[in-house]
Amino acid sequence: MAEAAYSAACKEVVTILKTAEEAGPDDLLLADGYIFCAPENLAAIAGMMKDFYDRSYYPVLGHIEGHPYAQMICAGSDGHNAARQTARIAQGWRLKQVQPPLIICTFAQKTEEILAEKSIPEEQLIRCRDLGAAMGAGLSMGVF
């Protein structure tokens, strides 16, 4: 999902793709906008994404206000709680949501399905690319 959005955004603006583990406050300070992408685990944002927010929240507080953001969630069945968590963090940072959360459900409910590597169908990846293209175009045109 993140790679699909990244590939489309790259056509519009300079774009950097990092995992939550690699990213930190300096990356947020350097960027003009953000697409936060995370899996939902047990009705919450994944631990590594929560760690990213924990490490980054206070160092950038008051320095990224008004920056545009969008988010993508990969969930087994719902995804809305993870989206709410990210939206609440973004609200604290005073970011500007420029698109509703994109939630893609894999419908993995059994242990084998949950633990298996996921493959996102092409029609869903198109939605991710569209989100990335829209974010890139909006930044490029200065509409945010």
Q: What CATH topology corresponds to 14-125? A: Rossmann fold (3.40.50)
Q: What is the pLDDT of residue 38?
A: 96
d(CA 70, CA 96): 9
pLDDT tens digit at each of 144 positions of the chain = 999 999 999 999 999 999 999 999 999 999 999 999 999 999 999 999 999 999 999 999 999 999 999 999 999 989 999 999 999 999 999 999 999 999 999 999 899 988 898 899 999 999 999 999 999 999 999 999
Half-sphere exposure of 139 (CA within 13 A, CB side): 26
Using an 8 Å Cβ cutoff, are 8 and 126 in contact? no
Please name which of 71, 6, 58, 63 lies closest in space to residue 30, comparing C-alpha atoms.
63
How many whole angstroms separate alpha carbon 24 and alpha carbon 100?
24
3-state helix, strand, coil split of the chain in percent (to 5) is 45, 15, 35
